[in-house]
Structure 1
Amino acid sequence: MTVLSLLGLVAAGFVAALVGYVTGLASLVSYPALLAFGLNPLAANVTNTVALVASGIGSFAKSGRDLTADDGGRSLIKSAVVALAGGAVGAALLLLAPAEAFAYVVPYLVALAAIALLLQPYLRQWFDRGVDRPFLWAFAVFAVSIYGGYFGAGAGVVFVACAMLLTELPLWKSVLLKSALLGVANAVAAVGFMIFGPVDWVAALAMGIGCLLGGWMGPPVVARLPATPLRIAIGIAGLGLAVWLGFSS
């Protein structure tokens, strides 16, 4: 790759991580960028997963203590273990299953999460009445982490929606939690891809530098944005992504 190409990947990684932290749509920026720089779809997918690990590292290094302050990090550790297991399953599916395995269901899943996020104040009243939220949260983390390890476009939207419905966290903490858990799912998937997948290490390193910087910048940006407009913006972006995924699958 030329120096200009490498700088382009750094810039794409920065934008992807910042957009991904705010909206949960990082792969919508980073994956097409890797394709544009000449990687084939499988190499772009696994390289994207490896690069995006840096985004989670950056955001957690900046504001991770906000997630661990209440109970010393015990809840985060439990969720991270579930996310790790889901990410491992997702990576195995990508390497072993047909590429079309999730193509049909994913647009509907993302659309459902986007609608849930838009209707969160109303749905939360129902979830507050007799629903086993800890169990549903663990199940949601596992399921979304499988998809995150497999491909992940829209996984952030689903994570934020689940956190807003099934935990007591405000939006900015839900976004931070989403970034941390997707980082775990991506990290365990990345380990598998490093061993068995066709990772383009030059592209992964260049994009990873940008992702680290973008992830570091994400928490202060979200902390300054008003919660309700941000929630609506993420929901609308998620619906747009669902339509895009539906037509591109």
Structure 2
Amino acid sequence: MSIWEILAIFAAGVGAGTINTIVGSGTLITFPVLLATGLPPVTATVSNALGLIPGSISGAIGYRRELAGQRRRVLKLGVGAAIGGLTGATLLLALPPTAFETVVPVLVALALVLVILQPRISRAVQHRRERNGTRPRPDGGPALYTGLALASVYGGYFTAAQGIIYLSLMGMLLDDTMQRLNAVKNVLAAVVNSVAALFFLFVADFDWTAVALIAVGSAIGGQIGAKVGRRLSPAFLRAFVVVVGTAAIVQLLLR
């Protein structure tokens, strides 16, 4: 691996850690760079998943203030995320590489539509609750648990844009601020990446140099992303999600 490849992977790690903490889709930065260095697709995917763990943890720590009072919610949703992540990691090694990639753009596009419509949907849900005299469930109920578990299956398989899917689901089913939901998203991403990585350590090939470079870069990026992300207004954060998600769809379709 040349010095330029080393610098490119490290820089991609910083960018991915930053983007993942703010919204998600950082894998769309690191994955193409790893492929460009000559790594096979599955090896690149596994190396990427291992390397992004420190970035996910760093981002979650950076958002620790917004996590206050969400312990029960995080623990409950984290169980589903862990199960989904392990399932996705298993499928990565069991299925052809194109199996999930054919539906990824559709999933991301659907998530973006939900993000755009989230304020209107939330208002409609709130009005319905007021008419019926009901209160929102603090954990989102079975619908959110199931949706996040399925999104985590995809996250354990490829990870790209899983944060966007998380935010769209939580934005519809939880009555909370975007910043607090983003904090939960970072924890769930850390859970999925960690579970998948532990599985990969024993059964898959990976490149330790690439893993180390992305790990250091993403940890730095996680702190940058937390500082930048919490300063964004809900409207700007939602717009940023849409921009990044659209770029993700374009890149996935052109791959």
Query: Corresponding residue for 1:70?
Result: 69
Distance 1:243 1:126, change over 3 A: farther
2:248 pairs with 241, 245, 249, which one? 241
Separation of aligned partners in 1, 2:249 and 2:11: 25
Separation of aligned partners in 2, 1:240 and 1:63: 25
**What secondary structure, in the 3-state scheme, does the structure 1 residue paired with 2:58 have?**
helix
User: Residue 206 of structure 1 aligns to which amino acid in structure 2?
Assistant: L
Is 1:185 matched with 2:192? Answer: yes
User: Residue 222 of structure 1 aligns to which amino acid in structure 2?
Assistant: G
User: Residue 15 of structure 1 aligns to which amino acid in structure 2?
Assistant: G
Aligned pair count reads: 246
2:105 pairs with 104, 107, 126, which one? 107
Query: Corresponding residue for 2:61?
Result: 61
In the TM superposition, what are the counterparts of 1:215-234 in structure 2 within 5 Å? Answer: 215-234=222-241
Runs of 5+ unmatched residues, structure 1: none
Separation of aligned partners in 2, 1:127 and 1:83: 25
- TM-fit CA distance, 1:49: 0.6
- TM-fit CA distance, 1:65: 4.6
Runs of 5+ unmatched residues, structure 2: 130-135
Asked if 2 retains the 8 angstrom alpha-carbon contact of 1:90 and 1:150, the reply is yes
Q: What root-mean-square deviation, in Å, do the aligned CA atoms of Structure 1 and Structure 2 show?
A: 1.8
In the TM superposition, what are the counterparts of 1:182-221 in structure 2 within 5 Å? Answer: 182-221=189-228
Asked if 1 retains the 8 angstrom alpha-carbon contact of 2:14 and 2:219, the reply is yes
**What secondary structure, in the 3-state scheme, does the structure 2 residue paired with 1:217 have?**
helix
Separation of aligned partners in 1, 2:252 and 2:125: 29
| TM-score normalised by structure 2 residue count | 0.90
Query: Corresponding residue for 1:145?
Result: 152
Asked if 2 retains the 8 angstrom alpha-carbon contact of 1:114 and 1:236, the reply is no
State the identity as a percent: 33
Separation of aligned partners in 2, 1:236 and 1:3: 32
- TM-fit CA distance, 1:168: 2.1
Separation of aligned partners in 1, 2:197 and 2:217: 17
Separation of aligned partners in 2, 1:95 and 1:29: 22
1:43-97 deviation digits (Å, cap 9, x = unpaired): 1111111111111111122222531x215x1211111111100000000000111
1:154-173 deviation digits (Å, cap 9, x = unpaired): 11111111121111221122
Distance 1:246 1:215, change over 3 A: same
Separation of aligned partners in 2, 1:42 and 1:103: 13
Asked if 1 retains the 8 angstrom alpha-carbon contact of 2:66 and 2:179, the reply is no
In the TM superposition, what are the counterparts of 1:28-43 in structure 2 within 5 Å? Answer: 28-43=28-43
User: Residue 73 of structure 2 aligns to which amino acid in structure 1?
Assistant: S
Asked if 2 retains the 8 angstrom alpha-carbon contact of 1:83 and 1:181, the reply is yes
**What secondary structure, in the 3-state scheme, does the structure 1 residue paired with 2:159 have?**
coil
Asked if 2 retains the 8 angstrom alpha-carbon contact of 1:13 and 1:30, the reply is yes
Separation of aligned partners in 1, 2:125 and 2:28: 30
Asked if 2 retains the 8 angstrom alpha-carbon contact of 1:176 and 1:219, the reply is no
Query: Corresponding residue for 2:133?
Result: none
Separation of aligned partners in 1, 2:59 and 2:20: 11
**What secondary structure, in the 3-state scheme, does the structure 2 residue paired with 1:102 have?**
helix
